[in-house]
Amino acid sequence: MIYKIHRIPVYAPKYIGEKDILIGGGEILAIEESIDTVLPEEGLVEEIDGSGLLAAPGIIDSHLHPTGGGGEGGFSSRTPELQLSDFTTAGVTTLVGTLGTDGNTRDLRNLLAKVKALKEDGLSAYCYTGSYHLPLKGLCPSLSDDIIFIEEVIGAGEIALADHRSGQPDYRQLLELAAACRLGGMLSGKAGTVNIHMGDGKQGLSLLRQIAEQSEVPRTQFSPTHMGRNPQLFREATQWALEGGYVDFTTCTREAFIREGEVRASRALRLLLDAGVALDRISFSSDAGGSLPSFDQEGKICGMEVGDCSSLLDELRRAVRDEGISLEKALCPLTASVAKRLELNRKGVIAGGVDADIMLLDRESLELRTLFARGEIMIRSGEILRRSPFEKQER
Ligand code: ZN
């Protein structure tokens, strides 16, 4: 099927005016002021009316737990697997899965199979090798082999730092891991990102700073997330980003965490832009499928919730409405900036020749109406058209 979206304002994410977009074979075939489609067979091109809508790139969620996460409160607190519509109803067309805290009862083979399943379902999906802990347990004999030989593996993570749940790696262990990721990435044409889970601990970014300052591994090898977790970490994040490092903010949170001082992703974007941080250093991810545990003073668990992907568009709307950030800028941490960081060259933008991953949002409410993933319609006018084979139909 070929689709033509007729007369729609396009945020690529930069605003490029009102256009026609022609989609076929999974790609954006053309994007012009006006496209005349003259095809021999009637019904070969489906026209989609763009009135009341705007087009933006599909979201790239670079940190979430598709097979579930959690488990910090015992076996029954392991969170459930995510399904296709958990992503598509949130505008996510590309995702990067990670194991998280639990690399014991969960494993990479299961994560990789889930990622492959989501690809079969029509999304673009990747994963990080390893879990919270070092020494890293990968799939191949070496970490760099995982990145080089497994198509879906684009880096390592999430490696936990400054957290009581971390494996407490030292400078040498983390440096060797980053070097292996760098080598694996270079040899396979991938980013080789080291995805870092930042906890609340007093260690903060000190290990990462030490590597950036004392070794040959550049700070851009790292992608630390949960950077708004507390005011002190946010201050460190600002400095890290001003010096050229990437900073990622988690959109799933709880109001109680915000009251305790967590900096919301949309607020973080406003503060970082005001501080002079380049937009392409900043990204948002959902942490969907992960647990949101609360710990008391003694580190005992006292509450748990599960994150979901819908928080990504919530934060986009907050950035525009509450923080006064233009839509074209507010989209970047969800699209173009993530694609650049992860070296996903066909993602994160609307342009001729790239993958047709496109959200059609209501112009006023910025609610998702229609979603294309690799040129196929996943959501049409709010209706879910595709589900995973065993997904429940209740949504
Ligand atoms: Zn984490």
Q: For residue range 61-91, list pLDDT tens digits in order.
A: 999 999 998 888 889 889 999 999 999 999 9
Single pTM value for the model: 0.96
pLDDT at 380: 97
Residue 290 CA, ligand 1 centroid: distance in Å: 8
Residue type, 4: K
pLDDT in tens, 117-137: 999 999 999 999 999 888 899
Q: How far apart are alpha carbons 261 and 385 in whole angstroms?
A: 40
Of 95-104, 296-305, 336-345, the range with the lowest mean pLDDT is 296-305
pLDDT at 392: 74
Of 4-8, 232-236, 297-301, 373-377, the range with the lowest mean pLDDT is 297-301
Of 97-101, 211-215, 292-296, 329-333, the range with the lowest mean pLDDT is 292-296
Q: How far apart are alpha carbons 199 and 205 in whole angstroms?
A: 10
Q: What is the pLDDT averaged over residues 172-198?
A: 98
pLDDT in tens, 215-271: 999 999 999 999 999 999 999 999 999 999 999 999 999 888 999 999 999 999 999
Q: Taking Cα atoms as reference points, which of 361, 340, 359 lies closest to residue 350?
A: 359
Q: Which residues surround ligand 1, an ion (CB under 5 A)?
A: 197
Number of Cβ within 10 Å of residue 105's Cβ equals 8
Residue entry with tokens 């799933």: 252
Residue 11 CA, ligand 1 centroid: distance in Å: 30
Q: Out of 287, 308, 355, 357, pick the active-site residue.
A: 287
Residue 365 CA, ligand 1 centroid: distance in Å: 30
Query: Are 282 and 319 a contacting pair, CB within 8 Å?
Result: no
pLDDT at 37: 73
287 catalytic? Reply is yes
Of 46-55, 237-246, 292-301, 375-384, the range with the lowest mean pLDDT is 292-301
pLDDT at 353: 97
Q: What is the pLDDT averaged over residues 99-112?
A: 93
The answer, yes or no, to whether residue 288 has pLDDT greater than 90, is: yes
Residue 104 CA, ligand 1 centroid: distance in Å: 16
pLDDT at 395: 57
Residue 197 CA, ligand 1 centroid: distance in Å: 4
Residues 162-190: b if buried by 16+ CB within 10 A, e if exposed:
bbebbbebeeebbbbbbbbbbbbbeebeb
The answer, yes or no, to whether residue 108 has pLDDT greater than 70, is: yes
* 9 pLDDT tier (thresholds 50, 70, 90): very high
Residue 158 CA, ligand 1 centroid: distance in Å: 7
Residue 129 CA, ligand 1 centroid: distance in Å: 14
Percent of the chain with pLDDT over 90: 84
Query: Are 112 and 139 a contacting pair, CB within 8 Å?
Result: yes
Query: Are 4 and 19 a contacting pair, CB within 8 Å?
Result: no
pLDDT at 38: 64
Residue 293 CA, ligand 1 centroid: distance in Å: 11
